[in-house]
Amino acid sequence: MKKHLILIVLLTTVALPGNAHIINYQLDKSETGSVFMKYLELGYQHIIPLGLDHILFILCVFFLNTDLKKIILQASMFTVAHSITLGLAMYGYINPPTRVVEPLIALSIVFLAVENIYSSKVKPWRMAMVFLFGMVHGMGFAGALSELGMPKDAFATALISFNVGVELGQLSIILLMYLCVAKLFSTQWWYRQRIVVPASLFIALVAGYWTIERVFFIS
């Protein structure tokens, strides 16, 4: 059990840096197929290893569930939601300010982590909150893609493949945690007391620090 607790700590302690959305890539003009693969890769990398705040969000989704299907369903709802706001932002319909979006992203992680501590099961409104928070995270993804740049001749392809890459990154985290933690220990009486609550508390503290940092230091 100690080895798997160490795994949880490692996955969360890497989340200490506050700037989790910066992507610095230069892309040359390329064919549609290569654009799809490149942005698929970038979407995946934006979760693993660059999306540290999104990793914590997905971990919050994971820790309140023991049913893999329910975990994946919530993660997919998150993907649908952030795809909507990401698309709206990249097409110029909305222009959310970074100084507002980034603290809200961190605060959404705090909210889910605290709920994990005080609630022992998934409540009906949890899906709605995951969807709402996903829309906020999508605005953060838009900031990353704006810095990266989008190919004018394959804009929709790049946008779709980026979202697919993000979803694959999320599924990788979920499957890793399910195999290493939930599948082995979720049936034990101490699973919630020794794993879910301590991990959620640690995530809440990290995300709380991010919230304060982003409120006062993002211009």
At 118, the amino acid letter reads Y
Q: Is residue 11 part of a domain?
A: no
Q: Is residue 20 part of a domain?
A: no
User: What pLDDT sits at residue 155?
Assistant: 82
Q: Is residue 5 part of a domain?
A: no
Find out whether 34 and 82 touch, Cβ atoms under 8 Å: no
Q: What is the dihedral of CA 111, 62, 133, 55, to 10 degrees?
A: 100
In three-state secondary structure terms, 29 is coil
Q: Is residue 39 part of a domain?
A: yes
Find out whether 48 and 124 touch, Cβ atoms under 8 Å: no
Q: Is residue 8 part of a domain?
A: no
Omega before 49 within 30 of 0, i.e. cis: yes
Phi and psi for 183 in degrees, rounded to 5?
-65, -30
User: What pLDDT sits at residue 32?
Assistant: 60
Q: Is residue 16 part of a domain?
A: no
Tell me how far apart the alpha carbons of residues 100 and 103 are, in angstroms, rounded to a whole number: 6
pLDDT digits (tens, 9 = 90+) for 137-196: 998 888 777 777 777 778 888 888 999 999 999 999 999 999 999 999 999 999 999 999
Tell me how far apart the alpha carbons of residues 196 and 46 are, in angstroms, rounded to a whole number: 25
Q: Is residue 83 part of a domain?
A: yes
Task: Read off the DSSP letter of residue 15.
Answer: T
User: What pLDDT sits at residue 102?
Assistant: 92
Q: Is residue 15 part of a domain?
A: no
User: What pLDDT sits at residue 19?
Assistant: 41
User: What pLDDT sits at residue 168?
Assistant: 95
User: What pLDDT sits at residue 218?
Assistant: 66
What parts of the chain have a pLDDT lower than 50? 1-28
**Domain of residue 176, residue span:** 32-217
Find out whether 81 and 135 touch, Cβ atoms under 8 Å: yes
Report how many domains make up the chain. Answer: 1
